[in-house]
């Protein structure tokens, strides 16, 4: 049986706040270790019927980057859901929510910058 691995390293400051997140994967053409400012990792526990997750972001992650990250993650989740279930209607609902979320964030940023 073939096996692959993903390695994630989180470098913490003295207060245990993430300063840097790096990752690498065994089944990729990229040899270098990649840096990330944020990550969301979810596992489904079939026995307990619940999601286990790790959400981390570095202290230099900006608010606008977080909004972009959430928007892109929601869109990707919708696409994954559609591929897994073939339920276009629900996937499109998630995409519509993601777009609404981003429009609202953008409007808040414009309003805040005018103050």
Query: What are the extents of the domains in the chain?
Result: 1-59, 62-115
- Each residue of 58-105: pLDDT tens digit? 999 999 999 999 999 999 999 999 999 999 999 999 999 999 999 999
Residue owning tokens 């049986």: 1
- Each residue of 15-42: pLDDT tens digit? 999 999 999 998 877 678 999 999 999 9
**C-alpha–C-alpha distance, residues 100 and 108, integer Å:** 12
**C-alpha–C-alpha distance, residues 98 and 115, integer Å:** 26
SS3 content of the chain, % helix, strand, coil (to 5): 45, 30, 25
pTM: 0.87
């Amino acid at each position: 049986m073939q096996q692959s691995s993903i390695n994630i390293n989180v470098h913490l400051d003295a207060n245990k706040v993430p300063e840097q997140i790096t990752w690498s994967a065994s089944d990729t053409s990229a040899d270098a270790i990649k840096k990330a400012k944020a990550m969301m990792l979810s596992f489904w526990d079939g026995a307990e019927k619940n999601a286990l997750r790790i959400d981390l972001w570095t202290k230099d992650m900006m608010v606008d980057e977080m909004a972009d990250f959430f928007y892109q993650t929601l869109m990707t989740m919708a696409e994954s859901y559609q591929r897994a279930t073939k339920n276009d209607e629900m996937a499109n609902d998630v995409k519509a929510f993601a777009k609404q979320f981003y429009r609202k964030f953008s409007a808040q940023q414009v309003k805040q910058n005018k103050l």
